[in-house]
Amino acid sequence: APAEIVVVGSCMTDLVSYAPRLPRVGETVHGHRFAVGFGGKGANQCVQAARLGASTAMVAKVGKDTFGDNYIQNFKDNGVNIDHVGQVSEAATGVAPITVDDEGRNAIVIVPGANLFLGPEDVALARAAISGARVVLAQLEVRPETTARALRLARRHGVRTILNPAPAVPDLDPELYELSDIFCPNETEAELLTGVVVSGVEEAGRAATLLLQRGCGAVVITLGRHGAVVASQSDPAPRHVPSPSVTAVDTTGAGDSFVGSLAFFQARLPGLPLAEAARRACQIAAESVRSAGTQSSYPGRDGLPAALFQEE
Ligand code: RIB
Ligand code: NA
């Protein structure tokens, strides 16, 4: 059977240092812990959706190296279909050196490596998977033309599209808005795209209205511990969705947990109002913030309240 959710996106090996605070320019600080984890926005979102119980497939490139081999095993361990995950010898598996401070905040450098070898031709090869999916999900850690091709192909087959425009870029290809049924940036990305300083719920609402005008079906702006703001063409008045408050251990990848969960709800409970889907996704992402790492902190269906998985 075809996967319900196809993610066209990145895989990174996260190299995470935990330190009291982030170093300043030219400064060395002592860290107290180091961990290697599975990351990359595309794979994170895919794995979160898989842990919630969706059937998923990944379209991605890793290197022909140990990190790449381990990554493929990680997909298998999470039940993610890897028919369209390739290994290239031209570049190393993507890596993300990450520093996390004692408040759970982070600074990240990404070196995409093999991810940049994922091209539009790879999307074309995954046509059957994409056209048979319920939801296609993409981000901006692979080449922009690859992302555009994936969303175009999905759209042509009537498959729901979600774009998480991350990491932030100032001049996004305008076509990408029109190709997105749900456009889901965080506050920084929304700010860079609209020029609205997203310092609170009200400003996020203004940014959402501007983004809607660019042609997406719906906009969901995530606001970290303040939850999210949702607006859609059919229900354009911005709505605030709160997040449960938790003690943050590591916020890295919480946004990806949210987006992967949103994709899950679009695939499995498509009748759920978007604000309700976002509210549930906030609950799942908040859970991820309570423990260390990205994928290592993503909850599975068993660890979550059953009500999250029921129709309203
Ligand atoms: O969004 C978090 C992710 O961003 C990390 O896993 C890191 O790999 C970077 O891609
Ligand atoms: Na976490």
Q: Give the distance from CA 154 to its chain's centroid.
A: 18
Nearest to 98 by CA among 311, 251, 210: 251
Q: Determine the atom of ligand 1 nearest the C-alpha atom of 13.
A: 8
Q: Which ligand is nearest to the CA of 106?
A: 1
From first to last of its 312 residues, the chain has per-residue pLDDT tens of 899 999 999 999 999 999 999 999 999 999 999 999 999 999 999 999 999 999 999 999 999 999 999 999 999 999 999 999 999 999 999 999 999 999 989 999 999 999 999 999 999 999 999 999 999 999 999 999 999 999 999 999 999 999 999 998 888 999 999 999 999 999 999 999 999 999 999 999 999 999 999 999 999 999 999 999 999 999 999 999 999 999 999 999 999 999 999 999 999 999 999 999 999 999 999 999 999 999 999 999 999 999 999 998
The structure tokens listed for 109 are 């450098």
Nearest CA to ligand 1 atom 9: 40
Beta carbon of 210 within 6 Å of any ligand 1 atom: no
How far, in Å, are 162, 178, 219 from residue 216 at the CA level?
A: 10, 5, 7
| Cβ-Cβ contacts under 8 Å for 200 (sequence gap 6 or more) | 226
How does DSSP classify residue 111?
B
Active-site residue 256, yes or no?
yes
Secondary structure (3-state) at 216:
coil
Q: Determine the atom of ligand 1 nearest the C-alpha atom of 295.
A: 6
Distance CA 37, CA 28 (A): 23
ipTM over 0.95: yes
The structure tokens listed for 93 are 């598996």
The answer to whether 246 and 289 are in contact (CB under 8 A) is yes
How does DSSP classify residue 19?
-
